Amino acid sequence: MTTRRLPRPRELAPLLRPAAVDLDPTRRRLAAAHTIEDLRRLAARRVPRAIFDYVDGGAEYEVTLRRSRRLFREIELVPSVLRGVSEVDTSRTILGRPSAFPWVYTPTGVTRVMHHEGERAVARSAARLGVPYGLSLISTTSMEDVVAAAPAGRNWLGMGVPSDRDLASRALDRARAAGYEALVVYVDAPTPGARLKDRYNGLTIPPRPTLRTIADGALHPAWWFDLFTTEPIAFPNVHVPPGASVHQISSQLGNPAATLDDFAWLAEQWDGPVLAKGLATARDARRLVDAGAVGVVLSTHGGRQLDQGPLPLRVLPEVVAEVGDEAEVFVDTGVLHGADVVAAVALGATGVFLGRAYLYGLMAGGERGVDRAGEILAEQVVRVLRLLGVTSLDALTPEHVRLP
């Protein structure tokens, strides 16, 4: 039989004490985000629809994007119990140097459109976290300004296979003088993919005022205020016509006439590590490693180039078998959770390239949002390793993962 009594005042006091209210709305908003999907939802509320769609969308019918995410969700992780996992090592050697976590923040263009802090914010956050950051040649911040913002960071440069070798040589000279560590060459973009959402939205950089953008602006006044009260959007590393469409800007990365000889020329011109990003087969991995790549990124450009192509995670084991002893192998597309990172490493990847994961954070809260994205992924990686019974990333093997 339950005996009831009146609570004593000292027992009620803790229950009646109100929780402290954080008066900083950005910090409060980010603290409530516990997954990258949470940051994605915040981002959708913070920026205009056309900007969010540019980051969130893929090419054509977005088949590759959906399949990539579904593949990560359907993998099985195989644990081993009672392994003593109080200490977990999340570090990974990337291009001969330690990285605190097994990922690279991939080069993305027009980042200041997503948040006015742009590439500087990402570079600073990456440097604090201890992971490399790739700057796109079509960035909205100059190579030099990014290094000035994060002088201790591992800054890499991303660019397409050039149609103008003089322009490419000047870009490489600037990157070399600024201290960039590595060159990431996009090999999957002879022409931009058909990103239909951008076409339907009529997205230009900077956005042109239309009835649609004006109406959307009323819902996102803070974003428009930041756009008009900070330095104008510009492309200091390449020439882009004012008011260019996203398709025109993306064309800066492409060269339909490019061949393997052009990639080999780039590798010869750069006196540091060169990675080839955007391949999808072991055959192409072999060709690119033989042409000078020290790393390959199995990539669909985030599902934004060829739709319905091979999924990077699916082809990872055969590529590792082909070139894994000679080059580092990375994957991208669909990586939105620490478990995705762990699965890729277990299947033989050196690490992953992250794009949307940190961009959602940037849109949700600027530099602090990028920090939060890194924190979320780091917490997830540690938790997954412990639950797998593994104390380091290097201890992972294919036996820890079952692909559907």
Known catalytic residues? 301
Tell me which DSSP letter residue 298 carries: E
List, in sequence order, every residue forming a beta bridge with 295; answer none if it has no partner: 275, 328
Length of the chain: 404
Q: Which amino acid is at 91?
A: S
Nearest to 140 by CA among 4, 209, 231: 231
Q: Which of 391, 322, 351 is nearest to 80 (CA)?
A: 391
Cβ within 8 Å of residue 373, ≥6 positions away: 36, 39, 357, 358, 360, 361
**Half-sphere exposure in the Cβ direction for 389 (13 Å, CA):** 10
**For residue 354, what is the DSSP state?**
E
For 389, other C-beta atoms within 10 Å of its C-beta total 16
Dihedrals phi, psi of 133, to nearest 5 degrees:
-125, 130
Using a 10 angstrom Cβ sphere, with 0-12 exposed, 13-18 middle and 19 or more buried, the burial of residue 26 is middle
Tell me the CA end-to-end span of the chain in Å, nearest whole number.
Answer: 53
| 3 CB neighbour count, 10 Å cutoff | 4
Q: Which residues contact 123 (CB under 8 A, 6 or more apart)?
A: 133, 135, 146, 147, 149, 150, 153, 155
Pick the closest to residue 336 from 362, 355, 309, 314 (CA basis).
355
Q: Which residue type is seen at 88? A: V
Torsion angles phi and psi, residue 65, rounded to 5: -60, -45
Bridge partners (DSSP) of residue 392 are 89
